[in-house]
Amino acid sequence: MKYRTLGRTGVRVSPLCLGAMMFGAWGNRDHDDCARIIHRALDAGINFIDTADVYSGGESEEIVGAAIKGRRDEVVLATKFHVPMGEDPNRQGSSRRWIVTAVEESLRRLGTDRIDLYQAHRPDPRCDVEETLAALDDLVRAGKVLYVGSSTFPAHEIVEAQWAAERRTTVRFVCEQPPYSILSRGIEADMLPVARRYGMGVIPWSPLAGGYLSGRFRKGVEPEPTHRDMINRATGRDAAGPGQDAKRAAAEELGELAEAHDLTVIEMALAFVLNHPAVTSAIIGPRTMEQLESQLSAPDVTLSAELLDKIDEIVPPGTTLSQADNSYAPPGLLPYNRRR
């Protein structure tokens, strides 16, 4: 395993990051099986695990914490805050009030005294980023958090956060966690160049495009429904429309292209994300051991310039085929901010 440096932190992480969203009620309910998947990933050289408080209502953090007990120092442990954790309107967002509570709850569920990377799960338009950074700065000074990052922030919000950190002399976001895959390449136009400009690490989520790049799609063959399809429908990432049709057509072409180059589409999709010079580590989210095993070979795959050019012909650089895959609606486009 060839490890990479996370931004300018000096911390070395594996090119694959084990995402834990599928551990618990949202995916695999068997805690022992989830632990086996985590241990297999660690044994394969993956030293980076990412979860979030909201995943299965905290159950994912509990599973991860139990599984790494006794191996905690082997793991660069990341989790996130922001998404609602109940009906109370203050148990969400990026305010100081919620952050100081959320971190204690995550530490308890993870069974650890520190979180290596604590990330804002989404931007919070109701809260000044300076308040968020000041609260996170206090957590770093207290030793409860070592580094802080963002997730699914648009480029301009990343820049503002960097400027705010400089103005307030607080900790800064050392990495960004965006959606990125062959079918969702919009961040190539702005977010990835901005991350490189500020020396931030990039740890993309959904490099398999929510299962579209798992090899399920073949021309003339209707794929069997999967657990991931249910998740996509629930999150709005699988809404009917021209974007979804374009994704399926592209996935079929990409499957044929991978086969012609003696690769699985999973290997090609993950290697494509890892090939970008701004990317540090790609987050994989297996629900089963079989899914994990199918992805472990990706860091050893090298894509030729010819193959990358052919991928560009199917999905041009900077193109996102379905806008739902951006997973963030700019506040200016919400109904109450429109010009009507």
Give me the percent of the chain exceeding a pLDDT of 70.
92
Q: What is the pLDDT of residue 196?
A: 97
- Predicted confidence at residue 337, as pLDDT, reads 73
pLDDT at residue 219 tops 90: no
With 90 as the cut, is the pLDDT of residue 81 above it? yes
Average pLDDT, the chain: 93
Where in the chain are the domains? 4-337
pLDDT at 335: 75
CATH code assigned to 4-337: 3.20.20.100
Summarize pLDDT for 38-80 with one digit per residue, the tens: 999 999 999 999 999 999 999 999 999 999 999 999 999 999 9
Q: Is 55 a catalytic residue?
A: yes
Confidence at 334, pLDDT banded by 50, 70, 90: confident
Q: Kindly list the distances between the CA atom of residue 60 and the CA atoms of 56, 103, 177, 268, in Å, as whole numbers in the listed order.
A: 6, 15, 18, 28
Q: What six digits make up the tokens of 82? A: 């922001």
Average pLDDT of the segment spanning 115-142: 97
Cα–Cα distance measured from residue 59 to residue 62, given in angstroms and rounded to the nearest whole number? 5
Catalytic residue of the set 3, 55, 118, 336: 55
Closest CA to 178 of 136, 209, 206: 206
